[in-house]
Each structure stands twice: as C-alpha cells, then as structure tokens.
Chains A and B, each alone.
Chain A
Amino acid sequence: MPNIERRDFLKLVGAGGVGVGAGYVLRESIKHPKENLIPHIVAPEEYSSGIATWYNSVCSMCSSGCGISVRTREGRAKKIEGNPLHPVSQGKLCAIGQSGLQVLYNPDRLTGPLVQNGVRGSDSFAQISWEEGLSSVANRLELLNAAGRGDRVAFLSEGMSGHLAQLLELFMEQMGSDRLLHYDFDHPHSLYAAHQQFFGEKLLPYYDLKNARYLLSFGADFLGSWISPVHHSIGFGHSREGLSGARGRFVQIEPRMSVTGAAADEWIAAKPGTEGILALGIAHHLVASGYYQGDDRNEWAVALADYSENVVAGKTGIPVETITRLADTFASSEPSLAIGGGSAGNHSNGVETLVAVNALNYLVGNLGKPGGLVFNPAAAGQASQPHQASLRDMLALAEDARQGQIEVLVINGVNPVFTMPNGTEFGEALAQIPLIVSLSSFMDETAALADVILPSHTYLESWGDSFPEPGVGIPTGSISQPVVAPLYNTKATGDTVLELSQRLSFNEAIPWHDMEGCLKEGWRKIFSQRGGRAQAGGFDLFWRELCKAGAWGEEARFEGTYALDKAVIAGIGVQDPEFSGSADDYPFILHPYLSMALHDGSAANLPWMQELPDPMTSVVYGSWVEINPSTAKKLGLVEGDLVDIESIEGSIRAPVYVYPAIMPDVVAMPIGQGHTKFGRYAENRGVNPIEILSSRVEEHSGGFASSATRIKITPTGDRVEIVKTGGNSRELGREIVQTTGESAGTSAKLNSIPITTVQT
C-alpha cells in the first residue's frame, strides 16, 4: 500500500464525510485512490492481516548462495532468516545476509530510469520513462548490430550462476560479442587455477570441515569472508563439540589474525606470501618421515627436496619444531584437511601456494573422504560455470576501451570504479566508451559515470535462481522469488535484457517475455532430466513445490576416480613472493582484508552494517590501520593518530588502531569504506585501501595479487577519536571469559547451576 501522508488521510476522511466530489479530492491528493480507500475487498492470496507469510528465496549479498526465508507482514518484508531446508545455509544466516532488508528499503535507491544530461560525473541526471530508456539503448545496439560491430558491445556483470547468466550469454551471442564479463572483487581465481592445475578440472571441491578432526588453514578466512562463511560456520560448530569423542582442532596460518584466526586453537604468523613454502615444508616432513607410503613417494621426495624443514624455517620465520609438530599432528589425526585461500592466494605466487596446500591433502589421503576434500558432481541446469573475469580480463577490457574498441558497455550489479586500484585508471578508461548503461539499483561510483541508468529491482523483488558454486557435495539449486511487490519504477535485470532482446528481434533465440517464463523453462529442462520424486504431479506441481521450498537437491555424489599426473608432482614448488615497492622505501607490507560488515564495500550503504562493530576491533563507521604494538611504539603512534599510508600508487590517510595480533612488519586495513558516492550512509566515510594497491596480476590465474603491495607510514601529527564500542579490551583479572583445558571436557566436575524441574 503506498504511503498516505497524514494530511492526505484527513482529506480522505473529510471527503468521505461529505460524500460528494470525493473522487476529485482523491485523484488530486494521492495517486492510487482505490487502493487507499479500501485496501482489500478481496485480499490477495497469501495475505492475512496480522499473520506473517514466509517466502523462501536466495541471498544475493555475496556469492555463497545461502537459502533464505523472508518474513513478510501485510506485504512488507520484516526479517530475513536462513532457509532451514537449504543445504548451504541450513536455517542460518550471517549479518550481511540479514541486512538485505536495508537494500530493499534503502532510502537512497534509484526510483526510475535516468539519463545523464550533463557531462559525465557531473551528477546531473534527468528522469526518463522506461520506453525512452530502453529504446535509446536498443537503437544504439541495433545500429551496431546492423553495422556488424556487435562485438563492440561489452556486458560487465556481477558473478551469477543461474539462468540469468545463461540469458546474458544468449543475448551477447546474438549481439555477436564475446565480451561478457562476470566480475567479483573477491572471486578466488588463484584457487580455481590451483585446482585446475592439480586435479585437471576448474571446479572447486567441497571442503568437509564438519567432519575434519584437524584442519590446517593457510590464509583462508573461512569463518569470515572465504567462499561460504555461513556453511563453514555450521561445519566449524559441529567439529567443535559434535564429533563423537573428540573435539576437532584447527590451526590458522596468516600474517594478521582474522576472525577465523581468533577462533583457531593456534594462530601462526608466517611471513606474508610464504604460506605455500610452509605447506611444502610440512609436505617434506610427511614424505621424509615415512608418513606417506604411496607408490609415487620417490617422485614426491625429489620434488620436495628443496623444502627441508630448515630451509622452510628460514624463509617463513616459523621454527623447525613448529613445522614438524604441525606435520606430525596433521598426519596422525584422521581425518585431517588443509585449505588455502584469502591473502595466501593473493600473492604473486598464489597459485603455487594453493597447489602446495592441495599436495598436503593428497599426501594425507583425504581426497573424496568424509572430513577431507570431497569432489562436487556437475552442477545441474547449466553446461558450465560462467567465466569469471580476472584482473587480467578487466585490464584488457580497460585497454580495449582506451583503444576505442568498445562502443557500448552495460554494467550490472558491480562497482569496478570502487573495487579496481587507482593505478588501473579504470574510471578514465570507461570515459572513452561512447555509451555506458548501468543497471544499478543505487547511484554508486560506477553508475555515476553512466549515460543511461535502467535501475534493477533488488533481489527481494525479482525472479532468479542460483546453483551454489562451489557446491556442497550434491547437485543443488535454489529459486529466488519476489517477496514483496516492487517498490519503485524499476525492472528486474532479466526483464530489462529480455525487453532489449525483443526490440532487437532476437525472438528466435530468446523467446521469453519475462524472467519468470525464462526460469520456468530452464527448470522444466532440469525437471525432465532429473525430476526425481515430484515426477508424479508433473512439472506444475514440481514448480510449486520448488518455489515453496526455495531449494532443490539430489542425493547424487561425485562418481569417478582420481589419479595424480606425475608431471604435476614434478612441477610443484613455490617461488618467493614478490612485492611492489622496495623494502627500503616501503618497509611494511599492506594486508587488505574484506570487512565482516561491509564485504567489498557493496554493503557500505546499509546502516545496520555501518553500526555493526568490527568483530576484532569493535570499530564502527570508519576506516583504521592495524599496527603491531611494538611497531606503533617504535613510530611513537597510539590509537587515533592519523597516518599517511603510501605505496608506489598513491597515498591515503587513516587513524591507527594498535592491533595485538599482527606481524610487526605488516599493516592491515579493512576494505569497504571510502565511498565517494553510494548514498547517505556510505559517502565520505573512511578510505578505500584498494586505491593504493598495485595492480599486480598473479601470473597463472590472472587474478589480483592484492596482498603484494608494500607501503610506508608517515605520522601526520593529527588525531581523531576512533568510534567504537566502549570498554577495556583486557579482562584485568575479572575472569569474564573463562577458559578450560581440553581434558576438562571429559572429567565430571560439579557445576554450580541448579536445575529445578517440574512435572510436565
């Protein structure tokens, strides 16, 4: 129901009382008179006043693909929870996922199509109708198509896995362009490349954290930001107390303690970029001490000859005893699992590092076993995963734009001007493109450069689907459905593309009229191929059940065997990491990490997330630089001192936070703040560390080596008060958070809490 201002309401009452001319007053005062006067003579289906209706859908706040249940009351979304039926989220959800409501109800949403009527970046936009917007874009595409220059159209979209991805592919195929780029800042390119190198297939396995007894995590912030934090958290909770008889243990190896590091039993700081060398040191011990008894152990011994514990200790800064202890425990705890990613994969040697981590899994023999590395069966519903654009691809796009090779760029759901380093001059490259069309729901840094904005629905207003990648060991898919009527004059991305297709007469290849129809046909195919239990009622029943459940899965597992190519073993080795900037001029290594609340900056416009204290520092509403206490002392810095952080690419200014768990020569900064445009909650708040990162490309994967920038720190003499939740960060003997040894878990001690019982 649209808003009624109190004044308008009085007018209504007055008019009603008089009984004459009501129609006139109504028409003048509000736009939809009938809806307001008598809201529901016949209430819509699924609507009963005072009773909540829940819709199952999919979260789009990151790429994990968690199933959600949205509680609605009287047509408004009230709360988002995890969908208990969904194999990824299992009824649980993270903080960002729950804030999706503030995407839907964000006061800074674009309410209709806009056209830039000044110079780009001047923030001068005029409202237009959808007809005008769509036809102006379609006309330009038509012209290019007719002239055989359809390949000069590029489509830059957020990562996606469902039928929308296929629709975009079809559309671009019809245009005759292969410039369809799916781009996510945090896509683990090096992990995919490492798996391809090791296992021959560019598909991530399922990491069975739930059943692992001993876990070595090389830089993977799996409880915070890596791949699927909610699903990993469920597994972690289970491994802590759920395993019969023993508590699962895990070791986190990273230069700066992340949320995951805080939950670990042991946090080990290896020199940045040497995580893979440490993995090979452990592998060396596994082979040399005879833990590994495979037929190819001689090949392994040869490949690992250069990684004896002493050499590795020298390179990583980790004592020999620790390396052998980790290796011994890893070999003797069954099942044990090694995972790698995050900052460890974002170095110049990222792929080599993650291949080395895979070697540990191979040597300990956990492949395909519970508590190990479980291969995923092929995803349902699509032939292959859409190609994810790496930094190399993005740089190529920018270069093409500079060369005048791109005449139209459509941007959907991504903000590359914010997430690309300044050194890439991505925004400047975009300026060379004659027509930029943005499908953004918000005026962000990239949308501000667009000529035409055709704003999309939010995910809570659209039809869609997703197939979680990496999967959870079984084929699974989920439906995303509108939970509320669209708030504004916006269109679902799929519908916009379909309308453009119609105008361009792509009807033969793209026959659908709306996204719902496109989805239904896609799922009809899945149903006919692998319908399973709902077969009896036909597709209509299957579809209804699917929309109700929000999720679909099969009891199929990966079937196949795995043999390691001997050439892979011979090629194993990790180069020393390279950094941009000399160690003399830039003594510190910058460790940028994804914020728990703001993700890669895409959640910075949500006030709940701005007010969610950072788990490690409790800071809200700003940026900070984490510095080791001894380094801070040496530089004479205390919390709140403003410093300049300078790399070869530029300089930013932020206050110091003295962080007890970071290496002395590493400095960490959260990504997420520093928006110049993105609505009232995000704008002009903090700084964006991506700006000063050198745009180093990881050689094997083309990914962004975002942890490979050196910086220097210069105090400015100014101070600010860091806004954070109060309280002393030390217990001072108050015994608030109490701890116990591992053995206490089995001893029967009395506890002081009386449990009174009543007969029921």
Chain B
Amino acid sequence: MSILDRFAESWRKYRKPGYYDEFDYHWTMSIDLDRCTGCGACETACQAENNLPIVGEKAFSQGREVKWLRIERYWEGEYPDAKLRFMPMLCQHCDSAPCETVCPVTATYHNQDGLNTQVYNRCIGTRSCAVYCPYEVRYFNYIDHKWDSPLDQQLNPDVTVREKGVMEKCTFCIQRIRQAKDEAKDDGRRRVRDGEVQPACVQTCATGAMVFGDRKDPKSKVSKSINGPRAYRVLDELNTDSSVIYLKKVEA
C-alpha cells in the first residue's frame, strides 16, 4: 500500500459520520446571546491565559491583531430604535472543519476530544487554513512579538509562546483540559466531571453567558443548555458541524 493509499484510507475513516462517537469526550461551548453584555472580560481572560501578544497600534491598524476570542458587534435599526447585538466569536471547533482539509502539513487536525488543534511546530505558514475558515478566527504571526520586560514574567508556563510564521487560534484552553484529565486519572476516575474544566473565557464570564462541557454527557450543563429552542449554529448552512452553539438573543 502506497503512502497515498494509506492516507486516503485514513482520510475516509476520519470523515465518516459517527467517527467522533468512539471517543470519550466531545467538548462543546454554548454562548447565550441573551446574557452576553459584550463587556470583554472573556477577551482579556484569553489574552492572559494563552500568552496572546500585545501587537501595538501599528500592527493593529494593519489588521494584525491576535484575538483568539473577539466580540463581534452588529447594529440593527436606526435611531431611536437602534440596537446593538454582541457575539463572542472564537474557533468553532468544527467537526467538519474546512481548515483541516486544506493544511498541506496536517498542522491542524481534529483530536480525539472533538477539538480542532493546531500543532505550532508543524505549521509552515501557508495561511491556507485562515482563508478556508468561514469564521475568520485564525490569526497569523506576521512578526515576532515582544513583551517589554518584565511583562514577560506574567507569561503562562503551560502555554507555548508562538513565533513568527505560525498560525494560531483558540484551543478551548487545551492545557486546562489536559490538567483536568490528569487530575481525574490521579483520582482513579475514567472521566472528568462536569464543571471541572473551564476555558479561561467561560471561567470569568460574569453573566454566565458561556457554558463549557462534554456534549456526550447528557446530564452536563452544556448538553442541557443546547437542548432548547434557542440553540443555533452560526453559518450552519456551511455544514461545518461546529462545537460552539449559540443561544438566540431574546427580543420583544
């Protein structure tokens, strides 16, 4: 069997419906747009947890900011009936992710927990994934970012600092998931309990708009929250099968 055949075979298996059913977890986030106030605490939590660089005003004006999680804002109507609706936008961890199929070096792939992962050491910086991503949540390091000393003392030792030429994006705080799994194992448990692991953004959300957990556990908070009439996916028509589920904003 040639390499190509082997590749094609594993690819077929990988894209087969039900592929993810065999695994232990299916990490999912729900975001209640009726509770989100757009305050930005999640953005800062992400920045602190994941060593996101401070890019500076010039790079920002060139569209080279790095925000794994950003608040999108959409105005509706005109004065005096104007409304502003917020939407936290982050990697949707799609089960049929357009970005994964396009990477020539498999730097981005789907792991056994339903996470869309990015292997920084494999990434060669073609930026194809960013082009294919319909949610525009992938960020490229056009420059080597610096932390003015001693700001670097804050950097989280559990997370890599990325360098120039590498694509990066939300990981659902995989370092926290790993730690929770390790702790569960140390306790002699097979599974992580619901609520034991929270990405930084979910942890800090004061209104409780964000909920994170395992969709395979029907009793988990996230399963309950997405099992209602307000649940929907952004750009669902693209069949990306995303793992971030939004709850519609209630408007009278």
Residues of A within 8 A of B (CB): 3, 73-74, 76-82, 91-95, 98-99, 101-102, 104-107, 223-224, 229-230, 233-234, 236-238, 240-241, 247, 249, 257, 259-260, 262-263, 265-267, 269, 487, 596-597, 607-613, 615-616, 618, 620-622, 628-630, 660-664, 680, 721, 723, 725-727, 729-731, 734, 736-742, 744-745, 747-749, 751-753, 755-758, 760
Contact = CB atoms under 8 A, between A and B. Distances in A.
Given A78-B154, A98-B45, A240 B35 contact: yes
A238 B208 CA distance: 8
Contacts of B43: 95, 612-613
Nearest to B76: A731
Nearest to B54: A607
Nearest to A758: B216
A622 B82 CA distance: 25
Contacts of A727: 72
Contacts of A607: 54, 151
Contact of A737 (B74, B156, B216, B227): B74
B229 to A, nearest CB: 4
Contacts of B218: 755, 757
Contact of A237 (B35, B84, B155): B35
B74 A726 contact: no
B207 A615 contact: no
B154 A745 contact: no
Nearest to A261: B84
Given A615-B40, A752-B236, A237 B57 contact: no
B90 interface: no
Given A78-B155, A101-B48, A241-B35, 17 more contacts: A76-B153, A79-B156, A91-B203, A94-B206, A229-B39, A257-B82, A259-B39, A613-B43, A615-B73, A616-B73, A723-B60, A736-B234, A737-B74, A741-B251, A744-B230, A751-B227, A756-B20
B26 interface: yes
A234 B206 CA distance: 5
11 contacts: A79-B156, A240-B35, A487-B150, A615-B40, A660-B79, A661-B84, A734-B235, A736-B235, A739-B85, A741-B251, A753-B231
B109 interface: no
B28 to A, nearest CB: 9
Given A660-B78, A662-B79, A611 B40 contact: no
A758 B21 contact: yes
Contacts of A265: 251-252
Interface string B63-87: 1010100111111111110111111
Contacts of A752: 232-233, 236
Contact of A257 (B41, B84, B157): B84
Contact of A664 (B37, B79, B150, B206): B79
A215 to B, nearest CB: 14
Nearest to A661: B82
Given A224-B39, A727-B72, A752-B236, A93 B207 contact: no
A233 B39 contact: yes
Nearest to B218: A757
B154 A740 contact: no
Contacts of B236: 752
Contact of B34 (A104, A240, A260, A620): A240
Given A105-B154, A229-B39, A751 B44 contact: no
B166 interface: no
Given A237-B208, A621-B60, A758 B252 contact: no
B177 to A, nearest CB: 16
Contacts of A755: 215-216, 218, 223, 226-227
A753 B74 contact: no
Nearest to B232: A738
Contacts of B151: 102, 105-107, 607
Interface size bucket, B side? 35 or more
Contacts of B121: none
A105 B82 contact: no
A534 to B, nearest CB: 28
B188 interface: no
A249 B250 CA distance: 10
B206 A230 contact: yes
A247 B86 contact: no
A612 B42 CA distance: 11
B57, B77, B190: most-surrounded residue (chain A CB, <10 A) = B57
Contact of A751 (B85, B203, B207, B228): B228
A756 B216 CA distance: 6
Given A262-B38, A662-B79, A755-B226, A737 B215 contact: no
B162 interface: no
B230 A740 contact: yes
Given A745-B229, A753-B231, A608 B74 contact: no
Interface string B24-57: 1010000011110111110111011100001101
Nearest to A269: B80
A98 B84 contact: no
B133 interface: no
B215 A237 contact: no
Contacts of A620: 57, 60, 65
Contacts of A741: 250-252
A730 B246 CA distance: 19
A613 B245 contact: no
Contact of B24 (A596, A609, A758): A758
Contact of B84 (A81, A262, A742, A758): A262
Contacts of A629: 78-79
Q: Which of A79, A229, A749 has the most CB of B within 10 A?
A: A79
Interface string B125-139: 000000000000000
A509 to B, nearest CB: 39
Interface string B94-132: 000000000000000000000000000000000000000
B40 A612 contact: yes
Contacts of A622: 57
B205 interface: yes
A580 to B, nearest CB: 26
A596 B82 CA distance: 21
A756 B71 CA distance: 30
Interface in B136-176: 148-157
Output the residue of B86, B153, B209, B252 with the most chain A CB within 10 A: B153
Interface in B209-225: 209, 215-218, 223
Contact of A756 (B21, B60, B74, B246): B21
B232 A107 contact: no
Which of B57, B227, B250 counts the most A-chain CB atoms under 10 A from its CB?
A: B250
Contacts of A240: 32, 34-35, 207
Contacts of A237: 35, 206-209
A611 B54 contact: yes
Given A76-B154, A237-B209, A729-B75, A748 B54 contact: no
A79 B236 CA distance: 35
Contact of B249 (A81, A105, A737): A737
A661 B215 contact: no
A233 B36 CA distance: 10
A723 B41 contact: no
B217 A608 contact: no
Nearest to A751: B231
B191 interface: yes
Contact of A725 (B70, B82, B252): B70
Contacts of A757: 216-218
B2 interface: no
Given A237-B209, A725-B70, A756-B26, A738 B40 contact: no
Interface string B187-213: 000110000000010011111110000
A739 B248 contact: yes
Contact of B252 (A105, A721, A731, A742): A742
Contacts of A745: 229-230, 250
A223 B39 contact: yes
A752 B230 CA distance: 11
Contacts of B47: 608, 611
